[in-house]
């Protein structure tokens, strides 16, 4: 057998008998992995005269990029918006548990909180690679407190903030630190929001529009200043109106700067968004749709009372409300459930459903060169799924980190 030692001593693993999601299509090819990256087999054969050290039969599974959840407030009893002494162990627990749902990278999300919470929690969040310990952390998503009182949803009103004279300095003082921040959700109709959007964008932070009463021209102006995302489309914003479609109108706006794509999150849990609304959004702007769970501490737990930051919430089946009200508050859906519901509700292709949870969030965050695809040289974070899109195994950096415990598999 030809030697593989010319380039690297690391073993080469060949995944066979599978359908790989590549270039927007499921293709019957083998997947080659070495040192945590996806290999180009032609280079291996012809340049290195190499071959596989290990072959794994995937038994006709689908292989898709790992899911990326850019809005997750917690889960399994852990609330990212609570400053606790064991915060790090909590984030580790969530990272570990979501592997079974196909999530290989995530953005821990904090809802509107007192400034002291941001100052305590944010220094404890660090960007890191995933592995057997759990999904990778891409950076925090700060949802609020610079949002609209009228569309606060489950966010506590007493913690909401506006931008004062030194708008960006206000934001810095509130959060304390932006080192680990990946996304900030704000309401673009707020005075001085434009300068904040520009400053955040300049620092490589994604600005998302949400919890807002913005009209379309205010939303378009925010995009022209650098905003690229919409937080949970249809939820916590003005409803679509034919004379002024509000933030929703960004999906078909002709005032988006050339070369820019606006992405939008959708909670496809069967509760937050009617299937018809999912279909409308997907058909209007399929390449911008990003599936998010918006999951909270109660995900993975029995119905009852749990927390979402400063609020007490009640879980009844898949419905989650602020205790004593009918105000929706986050979800308890897992990402794999959202992918399956989205595919069923829209009738989209399997490829489109999988890309909405992998490629699109990677493109939103500008990391598609390493995450969200199975292109050569990208990170070998991927899933094995059956035809019904149930996760059978999860791999990070080419190593199995979770497998469905089914005898005979």
Domain 66-365 falls under CATH 3.30.2310.20: no
* Greatest extent of the chain over all pairs of C-alpha atoms, in Å: 70
CATH topology of domain 13-64+373-403: Urease, subunit C; domain 1 (2.30.40)
Per-residue pLDDT reduced to its tens digit, 85-144: 899 999 999 999 999 999 999 999 999 999 999 999 999 999 999 999 999 999 999 999
Stretch(es) of the chain classified as CATH 2.30.40.10: 13-64+373-403
Placement of tokens 């790090």 in the chain: 88
On whether 238 is known to bind a ligand per the annotation, the reply is no
Every domain of the chain with CATH number 3.20.20.140 lies at 66-365
Q: Is the pLDDT of residue 278 over 80?
A: yes
Q: What integer pLDDT is reported at residue 409 of this predicted model?
A: 43
* 36 φψ region: left (φ > 0), alpha (ψ -120 to 50), beta (else): left
Q: Using CB atoms within 10 Å of the CB of residue 171, give its burial: 0 to 12 exposed, 13 to 18 middle, 19+ buried.
A: buried
Q: List the end-to-end C-alpha distance of the chain, in Å, as a whole number.
A: 30
* CA-closest candidate to residue 186, choices 173, 158, 218: 218
Q: Summarize the confidence of residues 136-164 as an average pLDDT.
A: 97
pLDDT for 51: 87
Q: DSSP state, 11?
A: -
236 annotated to a ligand binding site: yes
Q: Is the pLDDT of residue 45 over 90?
A: no
Q: Which pLDDT value is given to residue 127?
A: 97
State yes or no: pLDDT of 407 exceeds 60. no
Catalytic residues, by residue number, are 294
Nearest to 348 by CA among 263, 408, 289, 274: 289
User: Cα separation of 350 and 384, whole Å?
Assistant: 13
Average pLDDT value for the chain:
95
Helix ranges (DSSP H) in 266-409: 275-284, 335-346, 350-356, 359-365
**375 among annotated binding-site residues:** no
* 408 has a pLDDT exceeding 90: no
Q: What is the pLDDT of residue 85?
A: 86
Task: Tell me whether residue 330 is annotated as binding.
Answer: yes
Of 36-50, 148-162, 189-203, 214-228, least confident by mean pLDDT is 36-50
Question: The pTM is what?
Answer: 0.96
Q: If pLDDT is split at 50, 70 and 90, which confidence band does 146 have? A: very high
The tokens of 337 are what? 């459930």
Q: Would the annotation count 272 as a binding residue?
A: yes
Q: What are phi and psi of 84, to 5 degrees?
A: -120, 160
């Amino acid at each position: 057998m030809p030697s593989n030692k010319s380039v690297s001593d690391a073993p080469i693993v060949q995944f066979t008998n599978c359908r790989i999601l590549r270039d927007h299509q499921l293709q019957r090819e083998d997947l080659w992995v070495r040192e945590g990256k996806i290999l180009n087999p032609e280079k291996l054969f012809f340049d290195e005269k190499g071959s596989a050290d290990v072959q794994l039969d995937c038994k006709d599974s689908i292989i898709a990029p790992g899911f990326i959840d850019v809005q997750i407030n917690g889960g399994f009893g852990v609330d990212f918006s609570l400053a606790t002494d064991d915060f790090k162990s909590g984030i580790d627990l969530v990272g570990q548990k979501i592997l079974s749902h196909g999530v290989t990278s995530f953005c821990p999300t904090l809802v509107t909180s007192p400034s002291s919470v941001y100052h305590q929690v944010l220094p404890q969040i660090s960007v890191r690679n995933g592995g057997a310990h759990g999904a990778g952390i891409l950076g925090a998503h700060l949802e609020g407190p610079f949002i609209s009182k009228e569309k606060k949803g489950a966010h506590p009103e007493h913690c909401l903030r506006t931008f004062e004279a030194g708008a960006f300095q206000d934001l810095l003082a509130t959060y304390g630190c932006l080192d680990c921040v990946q996304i900030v959700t704000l309401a673009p109709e707020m005075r001085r929001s434009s300068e904040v959007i520009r400053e955040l964008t300049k620092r490589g932070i994604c600005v998302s529009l949400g919890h807002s009463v913005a009209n379309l021209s205010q939303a378009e102006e925010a995009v022209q200043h650098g905003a690229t995302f919409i937080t949970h489309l249809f939820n916590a914003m003005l409803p679509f109106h034919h004379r002024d479609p509000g933030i929703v109108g960004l999906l078909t706006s002709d005032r988006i700067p050339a070369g820019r794509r606006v992405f939008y999150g959708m909670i496809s849990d069967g509760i937050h968004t009617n299937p018809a609304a999912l279909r409308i959004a997907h058909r209007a702007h399929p390449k911008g749709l990003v599936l998010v769970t918006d999951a909270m501490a109660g995900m993975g737990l029995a119905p009852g009372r749990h927390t979402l930051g400063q609020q007490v919430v009640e879980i009844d089946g898949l419905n989650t409300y602020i205790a004593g009200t009918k105000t929706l508050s986050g979800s308890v859906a897992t990402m794999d459930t959202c992918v399956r519901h989205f595919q069923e509700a829209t009738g989209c292709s399997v490829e489109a459903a999988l890309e909405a949870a992998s490629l699109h969030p990677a493109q939103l965050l500008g990391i598609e060169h390493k995450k969200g695809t199975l292109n050569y040289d990208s990170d070998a974070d991927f899933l094995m799924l059956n035809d019904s899109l149930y996760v059978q195994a999860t791999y990070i950096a080419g190593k199995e980190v979770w497998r469905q415990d089914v005898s005979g598999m």
